[in-house]
Amino acid sequence: MSEISFDQYHDYHEVTEILKGWAVNYPDLATMITIGKTPQGRDLWVLTITNKETGPADEKPGFWIDGNTHAGEITGTEACLKAAWHLLTQHGEDPFITELLKEKAFYVMPRVNPDGSEIYLTQPYSRVGGGIPNPDFEDEFAEGLYPEDLDGDGFITMMRIQEPNGDWKASEKDKRVLVKRKPEETGGVYYKVYREGMIKNYTGGEVKMAPSRWIGGSNRNYPAGWSPIQSGQAGLYPLFEPEVRAMADFFWEHKNIGGLLTYHTYSGIVMRPYALWSDKHWDEKGLEKDLAIYNALGEIGAEMSGWPVLSPYEEMTLNKKAARAGCSMDWWYDHFGLLMYGIEIWDMPTRAGFKDFHERGMRFVMGDLSEEESLKLMAWIDRETGGEGFADWAPHVHPQLGSVEIGGMRTKYTMQNPPPHLLDSALDKIFMFPIRLAAMLPQVKITKAEATAVGEGLYKIRAEVSNQGFLATNLTEQRKKIRLDKPVRVKIELGDGVELIGGKERSSLGNLEGRSDRLPGHPSYSVSSGRAEGSKRTVEWTVRAKKVPGRVVVSSYSLKGGRDRKELELA
């Protein structure tokens, strides 16, 4: 199976077959590997994409793309698949893609959380973490409401119960819509509203929430600022989840990876660090240059999608004392100095005609809507899903609570993910972003190499080594601070009968800057500025050839900027 349609969501078996088909049909570009197993024994698939004729993937600047870290955010899988499909099918057709795969390597992991996603796709549950059973939920002393599909419609929606002291009432303009009761209102029909479900160890009285049925979900299990107080998402300790550990091991083994993008849903934003720290952190740590790069490259995604670039801490965290800890974006940048972005694909409110996330903030995520806003969303659901996105309120006899009504938004394919017929248009807004980011990676080339005869049998070898990428070979200032930046290295290999007279066989050139050093607000390199250009270095050797023609090979190596080589004939 290599054909793919982007008007549907694919389960684990289908994703596996698609990737296998691509590896078979594009053998010169694609390689499929497993980097580990999930707790339920599913393979964690990664597809490597590069033009193999121009060298192995690990000798080229590498870019990582993943999706579906959170089980219910299945749009991320489809975005990864569309990016991979575009790279494979446009190689040889689109000059940009063709050149990119000649010089760069992509590592695509469409589904970080296969166990949780399979539950999400095949069962009514939408809050399934990593699909790892939660011992706190199984504890005999556990109490509270947990989600269940009580009416058997295949979705878990909401329950409303008539209660004189209830907080909600039905809108007079559309009885399906619930609106907040005003402080002074009395004498009407009011409701308490709960998630559709059962209550563990219920003995009457106020309903509380039970511990999550499942734990995990990966994006609180990374070591950066890890904390166990993360609503069941943190795992038992950093890198506890097999998926997260497998990714960490893969990155350690593939040191050519210089950039990352992870796909999430559902807010319509381009995320850059930090999730755990405020933007003051950049200034305090002397990382203003990195923030400028993040914002500049993030604008590429913003221009494509129409979504704002923002920090999760600054604009998505209501309680700053309980900020998101253990997130991948913070870890890969703070501990490794790698540039990483997160994309929250899909934005139902904007589709329904509201302002973007940057302007409306967290209100839609928290359900803090006015009556008119709720009516507007309902009109969109009716229009785009034919009513399938909402379950009309219907009487139900709850075994513990008695008479209730069950209904409300079916969030899986409305709020959380696009309805299938809108999936492709949602992907089109952003799937090219990581591909364009990969073009920004450092690219070290031997731009000039020449051999000049300077005497009988003597030759001067001169090589100019240049970083032709946007990013410096150290990627970020943070990478220098944590001393993970590695110098560009150059060596000369001597053919038969050639000996080295002057110069070092191996030389270290330090870091080579990229165009990122010339962003607005940073010095530009020119004669007038008095600063030398930092993106180039020149290396010279003197060799003697006992016979001609002789041969030497000059090669360069950069951990994040790839390898290059030039062969010279001594005539």
Domain residue ranges of the chain, discontinuous segments joined by +: 12-121+215-346+423-438, 135-211+356-413, 444-570
pLDDT at position 231 is: 65
Global confidence as pTM: 0.95
Which of 112, 12, 122, 20 minimizes the C-alpha distance to 70? 112
* Nearest residue to 260 (alpha-carbon basis) of 49, 77, 63: 63
The answer to whether residue 318 scores a pLDDT higher than 60 is yes
Q: Is 125 helix (H, G, I), strand (E, B) or coil?
A: coil
Task: Indicate whether 97 pLDDT > 60.
Answer: yes
C-alpha dist (Å) from residue 13 to 10, 18, 279, 485, 567: 8, 9, 42, 40, 47
Helix or strand holding residue 454 (H, E): strand 444-455
Q: How far is the C-alpha of 192 from the C-alpha of 169, rounded, in Å?
A: 9
Q: Which residues contact 52 (CB under 8 A, 6 or more apart)?
A: 28, 29
Q: What pLDDT, on the 0 to 100 scale, is given for residue 521?
A: 56
**Per-residue pLDDT for 270 more than 90?**
yes
Q: What rounded mean pLDDT belongs to the chain? A: 93
Beta strands of 266-363 (E only): which ranges?
269-271, 309-310, 339-345
CA 217 to chain centre: 14
Helices (H) and strands (E) in the chain, counts: 17, 26
pLDDT category, 528, cuts 50, 70, 90?
A: very low
Q: 419: pLDDT confidence band, cut at 50, 70 and 90?
A: very high
The β-bridge relationship of strands 309-310 and 269-271 is parallel
- Average pLDDT (271-276) is 95
CA nearest neighbour of 311 among 284, 280, 272, 281: 272
Share of the chain above pLDDT 70, in %: 97
As given in the structure block, the two tokens for residue 223 are 């070591």
Nearest to 105 by CA among 449, 565, 570, 560: 560
Q: Which of 196, 208, 197 minimizes the C-alpha distance to 407?
A: 196
pLDDT value, residue 524: 45
Which residues is 257 bridged to in the sheet?
Answer: 62
* The two structure tokens encoding residue 266: 């559902």
* Chain Cα centroid distance, residue 374: 30
What's the confidence (pLDDT) of residue 517?
79
User: Residue 75: in which H helix or E strand, if any?
Assistant: helix 75-90
Cα(547)–Cα(571) distance, integer angstroms: 9
Number of residues in the chain: 571
Question: By the 8 A CB rule, do 316 and 302 touch?
Answer: no
Q: How far apart (Å, rounded) are the C-alpha atoms in residues 409 and 391?
A: 6
Q: What is the mean pLDDT of residues 188-207?
A: 95
pLDDT per position as a tens digit, 136-169 = 999 999 999 999 999 999 999 999 999 999 999 9
Sheet containing 458-467: order of strands: 444-455, 458-467, 536-545, 498-502
Place of tokens 């670039």: 309
Q: How confident is the model at residue 525 (pLDDT cuts 50, 70, 90)?
A: very low
pLDDT at site 531: 52
Residue where the block lists tokens 């899986």: 412
The CA-atom distances, in angstroms, between 275 and each of 268, 296, 313, 315, 528 are 16, 19, 5, 10, 41
* Closest by Cα among 468, 472, 412 to 445: 468
* 444-570 fold: Immunoglobulin-like (2.60.40)
**For residues 103-119, average pLDDT:** 97
**Pairing between strand 168-170 and 178-180?**
antiparallel
* Of 314, 412, 455, residue with least CA distance to 117: 412
Strand intervals (E) in 127-219: 132-133, 144-147, 158-162, 168-170, 178-180, 191-195, 197-200, 214-215
Instruction: For residues 367 and 314, give the distance between their C-alpha atoms in angstroms, rounded to a whole number.
Output: 20
Write down the pLDDT at residue 367. Answer: 79
CB within 8 Å of 24: residues ≥ 6 apart: 2
Model pLDDT, residue 356: 87
Residue 95 contacts by C-beta under 8 Å, 6 or more apart in sequence? none
**Buried/exposed code over 152-167 (b: 16+ C-beta within 10 A; e: otherwise):** eeebbbbbbbeeeebe
What pLDDT shows up at residue 2?
A: 63
Q: Is 375 exposed, middle or buried (0-12, 13-18, 19+ CB in 10 A)?
A: middle
Q: 12-121+215-346+423-438, what's its fold?
A: Aminopeptidase (3.40.630)
Helix axes 420-428, 75-90, angle to 10 degrees: 60
pLDDT tens per residue across span 12-65: 999 999 999 999 999 999 999 999 999 999 999 999 999 999 999 999 999 999
For residues 118-138, give the mean pLDDT. Answer: 93
Q: Give the pLDDT of residue 532.
A: 58
Is 3's pLDDT higher than 80?
Answer: no
Residue 526 has pLDDT above 50, yes or no: no
Per residue in 381-404, pLDDT (tens digit) is: 999 999 899 999 999 999 999 999
Q: In 3D, which of 48, 499, 23, 533 has the Cα closest to residue 250?
A: 48
Per-residue pLDDT band for 511 (boundaries 50, 70, 90) equals very high
pLDDT per position as a tens digit, 462-486 = 999 999 999 999 999 999 999 999 9
Q: How confident is the model at residue 321, as a pLDDT?
A: 86
Say if 12-121+215-346+423-438 and 444-570 have the same CATH topology: no
pLDDT at 1: 53
The identity of residue 351, as a single letter, is R
